[in-house]
Chains A and B, each alone.
Chain A
Amino acid sequence: MARQDSLQGSLPVMVLKILGRRGPLHGYGITAQIESMSKDVLRVEEGSLYPALHRMEEAGWIKARWVTTENKRRARLYEITAAGRKQLEDEEVRWKLVTAAVGQVLQRA
C-alpha cells in the first residue's frame, strides 16, 4: 500500500478530476471514488484529504457549501470552479509529461 506522503502531490489533481467528472461530492464521496477507481491501491489516511480540500478551496480551485442530505445529515459539498478546471488542464498536461518522462527513464535506464 502506498504511503500517504508520496500521494500528497497527486491528491489535488485527482480530486479536481473526480469533481470535474462527477459534479458536487462531499469528502467521503471523494474518498470512496478514489478508492473504487484506483481499485484500493491508492488508499490514503482519510483525514489527510481535508487539509488538502481546504487549501484548494482557499486557492479558489474548488468551492464548498453546506447542504442537508436526504437522511437529514449536514454535509459539505465540494464543486470545481472555472479556475479549478484550468488548473486541472495544466496539471494533467504536466502529469502526462512527467509520467511519460519517468516511464522513458525507467524503460531505458
Chain B
Amino acid sequence: MSWLSRLRNAANSARLDRELREEMESHIENRAEALMGAGMSPEDAAREARKRMGNQLLYRESSREARLFPWLESLLQDVRFGSRMLRKSAGITMAAVLALGLAIGACTAAFSLIDALLLRPLPVTHPERLVALSYPSVMAGRPDGDSFSYPVFQRFRDASASVAYLFAVNYGPGRQVASFGGSEEENARMSWISGEAFGVLGIPPAQGRTLNAGDSQRRNPVAMLGYSFWQSRFGASPDVLGRWMTWNGRRFQIVGVTQKGFYGLDPGFLTDVWLPIENVARDAKDLANPEVYFLGVWGELKPGATPERLRQVLQPVFAGARMELRRSFERDGIPPAEMPRILNAGIKVESAKNGHANIVRLQFQHPLWILSIVAGLVLLIACSNLANLFVARADAREKEMAMRAAVGAGRARLMQQMLIECGLIAAAACAVGLAFAQTAAPALVDRLMPSTMPAYLDLQLNARVFLFVALAGLAATLVFGAIPALRASFASPDAALKSGGRSSARTRALRPLIAAQVGFSFVVLFVSGLLLVSFRNLMNVDLGFTKQGVILFGLDGRRLDDAGANRTAILTTLERIRQQPGVQAASMSNIELVAGPFAPLIRPMMRMPGQAGTERGPFYLKVAPGFFNTMQIRTLGGRDFTAADLAADASSVIVNQAFARKYFPDGDPLGRRFDRGDDNGWAPQQIVGVVADAKYNSLRETPSPTVYEPLRYVGGARLAVRTAESPAAIGPLLRQAVTQTNPAVRVSMMELESKKIENGILPERLLALLAGFFVLVAAALAAVGLYGVLSYLVVRQTKEIGIRMALGAQRGAVARMVLTDMALMIALGSALGLAAGLALARYVESMLFEVRPSDWTSAALPLAALAAIAVLAALGPLTRALRVDPGTALRCD
C-alpha cells in the first residue's frame, strides 16, 4: 500500500469510526425506547436492544471496509496503471517532468528568496509582538525615515513603559575593521543595540551572558559575538570569553555569544559583533544631540497591547520632538509651505514580525514580486504545454477510454485516471523543482550581493517552502490536467466501435491551448525584454565621469581638532597618496558620486544677486583639489580648486553645465557671483570654473544643476584614488599611507567606484539576470510545445492531406492548410499577450530605464522571437506533411 493511501486512511478513519459508532448507538437507543414503550423495564430494554444489534464491532469493521476500500482500491489501481502508462512513453514523460520541474523550480527559487527576505518571522521568542517605528520623510517623495536621536528614544521609552518594552538598534555601521587579540585587522559586521534588548527579545546566550541594561553604564565596554562569527572566526572555542577586541581605538571585552540561529533583526544581514549602543555613541557626543538621528526604535508589545495603543502614546512625544527640530528644518532649507506637513506628520508603529524596512528589503521587495509573477507565467507556459501533450495523448488513448466507458467505468473514474497521471508527473516535477531551487536560490544570492554587503539569507527548506511546492504542483495538476480529464470524461462507449473520423473536432480543442501558450510566452518575452533593455541602458548610461579604475576609501577624521588640522590633513594626505607608486590621481569628496538613494544630499538655499529668492538651490558636493582630474570629468573653463580655496573665507565654487544653462543662459558664468544660504546665514559664492555634467546621485537622473565647493573638513569623506592596480594589491599600502600621514584619520572601508555603482542597481541586475533565464526557459517551452502540437496535427490530418494530394492539391496549398490555423492562433495569442504585457508593464515601470513599453520595438522583438520559434517548430512537421504519400495515407486507418 502506498504512503498516500495510508495517509488518507489514517486521516479519515478516526472520523469514520466515530460516525459509525454514533449511528449504531442511536439505533440502540431508539430500539430500547420502543421496547420500554411495550412495557419492558429500562435495564431489560437496554440489554435486549444490544442483543438484537448483534456483534457491533464486526459490523463496524465491515462498514469501514465498505466505505474506505472501494475508493482506495480504485486510487491504487489508477496509480499503478498510470505509472505504467507513463513508463510506456518514458521519453515524453521525462521531458514533461523536466519542463514542469524547471518551471516549478524557478517559482520555488523565487519564493524561497521572498520567504527568507520578507515572510519569515524574525528569530526571536515573540516575533508577532515586535513593532518598529518610522515616520514620513522630511523630504517629500523619499522613503520613510526610521532613524531617531537618542534623546527622543529615551522619551519614547519613558512614555510607553506601560504598553511596550522599547529598545534601540543601530541599523549597522556595517563592515568595520577591528582586531581580536592579534595585530592584524579584520572585517566584522557590527550592530549596536540597547543592552536590555536581548532580555526583551528572549535571546539566550550560547556562551557566557547576553548584553544587559547594566552594560550601558559600564566604564569598561563589553561586546557580544554572533554565533556564526564565533564558529568561523574562533572555531567555537569557549575560551573566547574574556578576550579583548579593539575597534575604533577602544577595547571591548567579549562577554558572550548569541544563541544559534539569531542573525539579528535584519533579514539579509548577519551581525558578527554586538555592542551596547550607549557605550559606542557616548564618545562621539552623539548621544545627547537631538539632531543626530542614528537609531532605529523597536519594541515588544506587552501582552494585550496593540500597535495602535502604542502609537497613541508615542504621537504626542513625536510631535513635540518635531516641533523642537523646526529650526533645524528651516536651516535645511525646507520651504515654509511644507512645514505643516512635516510638523503634523504622524509616527508609524508597524509590525516588525518579519523584520522592518531596510535597504535590502526596500530594494528587493518590488523586484522579487515582479520576479514571482514572471516565474508564475513560466509555470503557466509549462502547464499549457503539458495540457497540449496530454490532450494529444488522451486522443491517442481515445479507444482505451471508450472501451473502459463501455465496460462500465463512470465519468468520475475516467477523470480520476487522467488527473492521477497528471498528478504523478507533477509530483516528480516537484521533486525536480525542489532540487533545482535548492541550488539556484543560493547561487542567485551569491551572484547578486557584493562582497562588501554580503547577504545572509537562510535559504534552507522549511514548511512554507514545501507547502508552496506542494501547492504549485497541485495547481499545475489541476491546470494542465483539467482539460484532458474533462475530455476523457466525455468518452462515449460507441466511439470504441467506430474508428477515425471527428478529427476536426479534436484539433479544434487544441486551438485555445496554442493561443494560451503563445500568449503566456509573449508576456514573459515582452516583460523580460523590457527589463533586459533597461539594464543594458543603465550599464551603458553616460555618467560624465569614468567609473573604472577608481578605488574609494571611507575616511573617518572626526577626531581632527579644528579647521586648520582638517585642512592640513586633507592636503598632506592627498600629497602622500599621489606619491605612492601606481597612483595616477587622487582626491576627496564628502560623498562619492552616484551614492544612491540613502546618501545624505546637500541642498542649501540659493539667491541670485539682486533677488530675494529663498528657493531651494542646486545640489552641492564638497570636493578637494584634483577631483575632476581624478574622476575624469571634463573641465570646460576656468580652473580647479587650489590649496588656497580651502581657507574658510574663500568663496570659490565650480559649477556644472546644467547650472550654467539654468542660471546664466546668456553669457559666461565664469567670475559671476551668487549667495548660498544655510544655518550660518548667507555666504557669497564666486564661480571660478565650469565642468561638464556628471551623474550626481543616481544613474536615472537627468543632469541637474550642481555646485562643487571645496572640502574643508575630513569628517566621513571619501578618498578617491585612480589607479591601474587592483584594490587587493594597492589597498593595504594606501590605507597605511593615510594613517601614517595623520594618525587621527582612519580608513573605515574600501570599495571600487565601479562596483559601488553596480551595487546601486542590484535590483535591476537581479531582474535582468532572471529575465534572461526566463526568456530562455519560455522560448524553449514554447518551441517544444508548438512542435508537439504541430506534429500531432499533421498526424491527425494525414488522411485528409493524402486525399487532397491525391486529388491534385499543390504543396503550397497543403502547407497553407497546416500552417494557417497555427498562424492565426499565434497572432491571437500574441495579441492577448500584448494586452496582458502592457497591463503588467505598468507594474514594472519603476524598474525601467530609457525604454517604454509602448515603443513599437518593445512589442516587435518578442513577436519576432515568437515567429522565429514558431517557424523552427513548424519545420519538422511541415516537411513530414509535404512528404505524405497519398497511397499510404489512404490505406492507413
Interface residues of A (CB under 8 A from B): 26-28, 31-32, 45-48, 50-51, 54-55, 57-58, 66, 73-76
Cα of A28 to Cα of B49 in the assembled complex, Å: 11
The answer to whether B27 touches A28 (Cβ under 8 A) is yes
CB distance from B70 to the nearest CB of A (A): 5
Q: Which residues of A contact B59 (CB under 8 A)?
A: 47-48, 50-51
In the complex, which of the residues A55, A58, A76 contacts B23, with contact meaning CB atoms closer than 8 Å?
Answer: A76
B48-89 contacts to A (CB < 8 Å): 52-56, 58-60, 62-63, 65-67, 70
Cα of A51 to Cα of B52 in the assembled complex, Å: 16
The answer to whether B54 touches A50 (Cβ under 8 A) is no
Q: Does B237 contact A (CB under 8 A)?
A: no
16 A-B contacts, Cβ less than 8 Å apart? A26-B23, A26-B30, A27-B27, A31-B31, A46-B31, A46-B54, A47-B54, A47-B55, A47-B59, A48-B59, A51-B59, A51-B63, A57-B67, A58-B67, A58-B70, A74-B26
What 0/1 pattern do residues 751 to 771 of B give for CB contact below 8 A with A? 000000000000000000000
Cα of A98 to Cα of B638 in the assembled complex, Å: 120
**Nearest-neighbor residue (CB-CB) of A57 within chain B:** B67
Q: Does B241 contact A (CB under 8 A)?
A: no
Q: Does B29 contact A (CB under 8 A)?
A: yes
Contact count band on B: 20 to 34
Q: Which residues of B contact A76 (CB under 8 A)?
A: 19, 23
| Besides A26-B26, A46-B31, A46-B52, 19 new A-B residue pairs in contact (Cβ under 8 A), listed by A number | A26-B27, A27-B27, A28-B30, A28-B31, A31-B31, A46-B54, A47-B56, A48-B59, A50-B24, A50-B60, A50-B63, A51-B62, A54-B63, A54-B67, A55-B66, A58-B67, A58-B70, A74-B26, A76-B19
CB distance from A31 to the nearest CB of B (A): 7
In the complex, which of the residues B19, B53, B66 contacts A47, with contact meaning CB atoms closer than 8 Å?
Answer: B53
Q: Does B34 contact A (CB under 8 A)?
A: yes
Top 5 A-B pairs, shortest CB-CB distance = A45-B54, A28-B30, A47-B59, A51-B62, A47-B54
Query: A46-B52, A47-B54, A74-B22 are contacts. A54–B27 as well, Cβ < 8 Å?
Result: no
Of A45, A54, A73, chain B has the most CB atoms within 10 Å of the CB of: A54
B1-44 contacts to A (CB < 8 Å): 19-20, 22-24, 26-27, 29-31, 34
The answer to whether B53 touches A45 (Cβ under 8 A) is yes
Q: Which residues of B contact A47 (CB under 8 A)?
A: 24, 53-56, 58-59
Query: A46-B53, A47-B56, A50-B59 are contacts. A28–B70 as well, Cβ < 8 Å?
Result: no
B-side binding surface: helix, strand, loop or mixed?
Answer: helix
Cα of A73 to Cα of B29 in the assembled complex, Å: 10
Query: A46-B54, A48-B54, A50-B20 are contacts. A75–B67 as well, Cβ < 8 Å?
Result: no
Cα of A27 to Cα of B31 in the assembled complex, Å: 11
Cα of A58 to Cα of B60 in the assembled complex, Å: 15
**Nearest-neighbor residue (CB-CB) of B52 within chain A:** A46
Cα of A50 to Cα of B52 in the assembled complex, Å: 13
Q: Which residues of A contact B24 (CB under 8 A)?
A: 27, 47, 50
What 0/1 pattern do residues 193 to 223 of B give for CB contact below 8 A with A? 0000000000000000000000000000000
Of A28, A45, A73, chain B has the most CB atoms within 10 Å of the CB of: A28
Cα of A28 to Cα of B52 in the assembled complex, Å: 12
Cα of A54 to Cα of B69 in the assembled complex, Å: 12
Q: Which residues of A contact B62 (CB under 8 A)?
A: 51
Cα of A74 to Cα of B21 in the assembled complex, Å: 12
**Nearest-neighbor residue (CB-CB) of B23 within chain A:** A76
Q: Which residues of B contact A55 (CB under 8 A)?
A: 66
Q: Which residues of A contact B65 (CB under 8 A)?
A: 51
CB distance from B52 to the nearest CB of A (A): 5
Of B27, B53, B55, B70, chain A has the most CB atoms within 10 Å of the CB of: B27
CB distance from A76 to the nearest CB of B (A): 5
